Amino acid sequence: MDNASRLPLWRAALVIARRDFTAILFSKAFLFFLLGPIFFGAISIGAGALGAKAADSADPPRLAVALSEVESAAFADAHSRLDDAVRLPAIAIITADEPREPDVLLADTSRNFGAVLSGSLAQPKLSGTQERLESWQGEVALLASQAAGGDVSDLPEISLQPTATSVATTRSVQTATATGAITLLFLLTMLLAGMVLSNLVEEKANKIIEILAAAIPMEAVFYGKLFAMLGVSFVGIAVWGGIAGIILSLGSAAMGPIPVPAVGWPLFVALFVTYFAMAYLLIGAVFLTIGSMAPTVRDVQTLSMPATILQLAVFFLATYALSDPGSGVELFAVLFPVSSPYAMVARAAQSPVLWTHAAAIAWQLLWVAIFVRIGSSMFRKLVMKSGAGGRAIKGRVGNSKSAKA
């Protein structure tokens, strides 16, 4: 078959994408594919809780001390004397020229205040969330007594002033949301990349690739398979999202309020789907290229190991970076093409700034085009063996047709 009779690249890619999408969607394996991530859901919840705890310990909330200048100095002195003997919250002295209202201090996003101590040492007032007040009430009473020159038998009565939330509480729940989103993104890309890889190796073993190579451009096979699996993944996400929505709506009363990401749930879901597409296309191009080098399914396990290690490294990098927004590590995770979708999902959960997402998506699209271009070129050379190898495949297909005639 000559080149003039072949389909154009994108029409051929659409044919392959439709063929693969239909074959996978109506297969029994796809049912198990849909059931698998349900078991990983528990892992995501556990990882989110652990990640939030780690982030909280890395940047612990502090007690803002808004007493008079003399009493604040005495309180700080008592804290330094008792800190080695008793586990005490970190403190920050609020000077006279700074805002001293508890609501203003608790809403200050530049400082991680969990509670505010105001009033006087004799009649201290503690403002913060109910959970933080219960946790720090005894320590604050002990410090106020020591600062006033008293002893442990004469602790002052703390006047508690609960607030709805604080920056420390908000950061904690948003970090949990970010960690859960990164874990879910990692599990989805791992699962989907493996499916496209095994599908390609199976068709190579059955000589289907050789028939396709004689009929359509090899780049079309690459694009078609890549975007077919992306379409299948969107079907899976829709099913899993629907199940999750039903569970959350039925059990919302028992679970309590769900942590809201910084950009809000509607935009966060849209950004998550977008970043998932970017992450899948990047790693999918790598896995398809690896699949073109593997003659058997057994060889896939060896050849795909570097890509799997890369995915794990990216996951750990993004998880580590989310605990320190704005740091050099976090900026590197945002700029590195493979880790950029993960890092930006975490930013969507932790920061309401939107322009960075527009820039990140444009940056990732550029690298998707580069990865797909390089991957399809290598895919063609490795599958067709280039030059004489490609003509050999066409010759075998032509001889087969002649023999049948």
Residue 345 has pLDDT above 90, yes or no: yes
Q: Is residue 307 within 8 Å of 283, Cβ to Cβ?
A: yes
**Verdict on whether the full-model pTM lies above 0.75:** no
Q: Of 205 and 54, which is predicted with more confidence?
A: 205
Give the pLDDT confidence of 276-291 residue by residue, as tens digits.
Answer: 999 998 888 888 887 7
Give the pLDDT confidence of 149-180 residue by residue, as tens digits.
Answer: 877 667 888 888 877 555 556 666 677 788 88
Residues 6+ apart with CB under 8 A from 138: none
pLDDT of residue 405: 43
pLDDT of residue 242: 82
Residue 96 has pLDDT above 80, yes or no: yes
Q: Where are the domains of the chain?
A: 3-56+170-400, 62-165
CA angle, 134 as apex, 130 and 137 as ends, to 5°?
Answer: 120
Residue 194 has pLDDT above 80, yes or no: no
Quick one: which of 237, 244, 241, 242 has its CA closest to 188? 237
CB-count exposure of residue 301 (10 Å: 0-12, 13-18, 19+): exposed
The token pair that represents 55 in the structure block: 């982030």
pLDDT of residue 45: 59
Q: Coil, helix or strand for 32?
A: helix
- Cα dihedral across residues 78, 82, 87, 91: positive or negative: positive
DSSP string, 75-132: HHHHHHHHTTTS---EEEEPPTTS---HHHHHT-TTS-EEEEEEE-SSSEEEEE-HHH
Residue 403 has pLDDT above 50, yes or no: no
Residue 356 has pLDDT above 90, yes or no: yes
Q: How far apart are CA 381 and CA 378, in angstroms?
A: 5
Beta carbons within 10 angstroms of residue 341's beta carbon? 29
Q: How far apart are CA 1 and CA 214, in angstroms?
A: 7
pLDDT-based confidence at 333, cuts 50/70/90? very high
pLDDT of residue 389: 43
- The percentage of residues in the chain with a pLDDT greater than 90, rounded to a whole number, is 13
Q: How far apart are CA 319 and CA 58, in angstroms?
A: 13
Q: Of 45 and 112, which is predicted with more confidence?
A: 112
pLDDT of residue 279: 92
Mean pLDDT of all residues in 14-27: 86
Q: How far apart are CA 354 and CA 3, in angstroms?
A: 47
The token pair that represents 362 in the structure block: 């444009």
Q: Which parts of 261-324 fold into alpha helices (H)?
A: 265-293, 297-303, 305-321
Q: What's the mean pLDDT when you consider all of the chain?
A: 78
Give the pLDDT confidence of 34-75 residue by residue, as tens digits.
Answer: 776 666 665 665 665 555 555 555 567 889 899 998 899 989
Backbone angles phi, psi at 160, to 5 degrees: -90, 135
pLDDT of residue 191: 75
Q: Pairing relation of β-strands 90-93 and 113-119?
A: unpaired
CA 276 from centre of chain: 9
Quick one: which of 220, 248, 215 has its CA closest to 398? 215
